[in-house]
Structure 1
Amino acid sequence: MGRTEAVQMVRWVQKRRGGTLRLRIAVGCLLALAVIAAIDAHIRPAIQSMASYQAKVYATRVLNEAVEMQLAGEGVSYQDLVVLSIGSDGKVQAVQTDVVRLNLLKAALTNAAIDQLAMLQQQVVSIPLGTLLGWQIFSGWGPAVEFRLVPGGYVDAALSHRFDSAGINQTRHQIMLRLDANIVAVLPGYTTSTEISTEFLLAETVIVGVSPDSFTQVLTGEEQGIERLIADYAR
């Protein structure tokens, strides 16, 4: 074998070795990516669930504090929001709501909630390694893995009126404010959203009607005769 042929042979061997090395590197990278994807798919539900829970707890507390502080500052009573029309016989004929005052109160409470929500700071979410890996037997065990939680979201508000019985010819009237918020939790590489809803009692009263002179109580029970099912009570 001549010198030229020997040099060509060496180059061919080196080229083949280089190609094999590149192939091995490519295969190794693909395997590493597959392992990373498998780990991510395994731990993603745990991270998103924990982040969603932490965001919900934190946002609910902030919304409650914002509304409670605003209500304390407003000092609103039932009489400020509702006027009861009383007839000449002393009976309540109508319930009139001060729509303007009620909408102003709703706007003030909603703005207070939005302002507080916008001031949410980054939170540190710590998840035990055993929980993160999804192993039930090791759930809650192992060193804590920390993530930075950046919450954000928006708030919708709705007013409602509730009327229910509070006794004989007595009706309880409640004015409720419901806040619905969509909270987005952003972590490095992960994003999850959660819905929260909380209600606040703005005002209530019991509207008392005219008590009857007597009333009838009907008892149930197959063992009782019909003459024992009805009992009249005098006032």
Structure 2
Amino acid sequence: MLKRNKTENSIFKNKLLIFLFMFTVIFVFIDSRIRPQIITLARYKVQSVVTQAANQAIIEQMEQSPLSYGDLITVQRNENGEITLLSYNALEVNRLKSQITSTVISKVQMMDKADIYIPIGSISNLDMLNNKGPLLHFVITPAAFVETDIESEFETTGINQVNHRIFIVLKISASALIPNYSTDVEFKTRVCVAQTVIVGKVPENIFDNLHYLGD
């Protein structure tokens, strides 16, 4: 009787080990199939929602504290009234950058969690089952680190006419946090915050001081 119980226990343990082994193999197989899709969708989703939040934050900030071209750019002229130098108003520019960075981060922190769905047939690696079957649901928690810069863009629009546009550029490092998964993505987005048409003779080196302004 004792020998029989030992045999039954041994069989049960062997079956349990086989079951655990098969479960692990299946789990690893499914994970290897679904992980790349989760990562790809998560990157796309987090970039989309963070970009939308960032652009909205810039628009809201500009509506709350409107700035004109003259607020951001200092124009120097000679005795003949010709423009000799354009330079950033460092105080206003850095204040704007700081406010926008703070607003964007607050927007991202207040964002709701995002959802992604993957058809279960997509993990089969069979074309006939791709994008078919019940949907697997995953919840993404967005997070982001933001750096704000300012850029100038110049375009000749006619004889002695140059269109000068000022952009706020956000360099964003975003993370998509998912249970058992996480991924990072870096990207840029920019919004024009001021522009003007400069009329008259414009020296070629007049814009040398406007390519970048550090903090």
Q: CA deviation at 1:54?
A: 1.4
Q: Which residue does the alignment assign to 1:105?
A: 96
Q: Which residue does the alignment assign to 2:10?
A: 19
Q: Secondary structure of 2:133's partner?
A: coil
Map 1:47-58; keep pairs closer than 5 Å.
47-58=38-49
Of 105, 120, 127, which aligns to 2:118? Answer: 127
Q: Distance in 2 between matches of 1:134 and 1:69?
A: 45
Q: Distance in 2 between matches of 1:16 and 1:157?
A: 70
Moved more, 131-140 or 82-91: 131-140
- Superimposed CA distance per residue, residues 51-88 of structure 1 (whole angstroms, 9 cap, x where no aligned partner): 22111111111111111011111111101111222222
Q: Which residue does the alignment assign to 1:209?
A: 200
Q: Distance in 1 between matches of 2:41 and 2:121?
A: 13
Q: Which residue does the alignment assign to 1:66?
A: 57
Q: CA deviation at 1:173?
A: 2.1
Q: Distance in 2 between matches of 1:27 and 1:128?
A: 29
Q: Which of structure 1's runs of 4+ aligned residues deviate more than 6 A?
A: none
Q: CA deviation at 1:17?
A: 3.6
Q: 1:56 to 1:134 in 2, by over 3 A?
A: farther
Q: CA deviation at 1:90?
A: 2.9
* TM-score normalised by the chain length of structure 2: 0.84
RMSD: 2.0
Unaligned runs of 5+ residues in structure 2 are: 203-215
The answer to whether the aligner puts 1:139 opposite 2:134 as a matched pair is no
The answer to whether the aligner puts 1:151 opposite 2:167 as a matched pair is no
Unaligned runs of 5+ residues in structure 1 are: 1-9, 212-235
Q: CA deviation at 1:153?
A: 1.8
- On the 8 A contact 1:46/1:134 being kept in 2, the answer is no
- On the 8 A contact 2:162/2:197 being kept in 1, the answer is yes
Q: Distance in 1 between matches of 2:52 and 2:26?
A: 39
- On the 8 A contact 1:43/1:133 being kept in 2, the answer is no
- On the 8 A contact 1:87/1:93 being kept in 2, the answer is yes
Q: Distance in 1 between matches of 2:15 and 2:68?
A: 77
Identity of aligned residues (%): 26
Q: Secondary structure of 1:141's partner?
A: coil
| Counterpart amino acid of residue 166 in structure 2 | I
The answer to whether the aligner puts 1:84 opposite 2:72 as a matched pair is no
Q: Which residue does the alignment assign to 1:217?
A: none
Q: CA deviation at 1:119?
A: 0.6
Q: Which residue does the alignment assign to 1:94?
A: 85
Moved more, 149-158 or 162-171: 162-171
Q: CA deviation at 1:185?
A: 1.2
